[in-house]
Amino acid sequence: MPKITFQYAGVTKTVDAKSGESLLKIALDNGIPMEHACGGNGFCTTCMCTVKSGGQNLAPRTDREEHMGITSDPYRLGCQTRVTGDGDVEIEVSV
Ligand code: FES
C-alpha cells in the first residue's frame, strides 16, 4: 500500500493511500487542507502541489494539467494526479 507524505503549513503527515486515488481525494479523506475551488475538475489550479519525491509512483501528467499550464516537474494538480503502484510519494501542499 503506498504511503503519501503531505507537508503543509509546517505540518508533515504520512497517510496510507490506495493505488488509483487522486492526491486531492487522499488529502481530503485524511483531513489535509488541499484547496479545490473547482471541485476537483481540473479548472482552477488551487490544488497545485509540489512533488518532492516519488514522482515515478504517480500517473503521467494529464491533458487537463497541460491545458491549465501545469507542464513541468515538480508541479502537479492534486485533483488530476493519481497514485499508481505501491511506491511512496512526498508532496508539498500550498495552503
Ligand atoms: S481542484 Fe481545481 S484544478 Fe484541482
pLDDT at residue 48, rounded to an integer:
97
CA–centroid distance, residue 44 to ligand 1 (Å): 5
Rounded average pLDDT per 10-residue block, the chain, 95 residues: 96 96 98 97 97 97 97 97 93 89
pLDDT at residue 86, rounded to an integer:
86
**CA pair distance 36, 39, nearest whole angstrom:** 5
pLDDT at residue 41, rounded to an integer:
97
pLDDT at residue 80, rounded to an integer:
98
Pairing of strands 3-8, 89-93: parallel
pLDDT at residue 85, rounded to an integer:
80
> What cell was used for 72?
513541468
Asked whether 36 lines ligand 1 (CB < 6 A), one says yes
Domains of the chain, by residue range, sit at 3-93
Out of 22, 23, 43, 76, mutate this one to test ligand 1's pocket (max ligand atoms within 8 Å of CB): namely 43
> What cell was used for 61?
501528467
pLDDT at residue 76, rounded to an integer:
98
> What cell was used for 2?
503506498
**CA pair distance 37, 3, nearest whole angstrom:** 25
**CA pair distance 74, 91, nearest whole angstrom:** 10
Asked whether 77 lines ligand 1 (CB < 6 A), one says yes
Out of 26, 45, 63, mutate this one to test ligand 1's pocket (max ligand atoms within 8 Å of CB): namely 45
pLDDT at residue 83, rounded to an integer:
97
pLDDT at residue 31, rounded to an integer:
97
DSSP state of 68: T
The listed CATH number (3.40.50.1820, 3.10.20.30, 1.10.3720.10, 3.30.930.10) that belongs to domain 3-93: 3.10.20.30
Helix, strand or coil for residue 27? helix
Helix, strand or coil for residue 79? coil
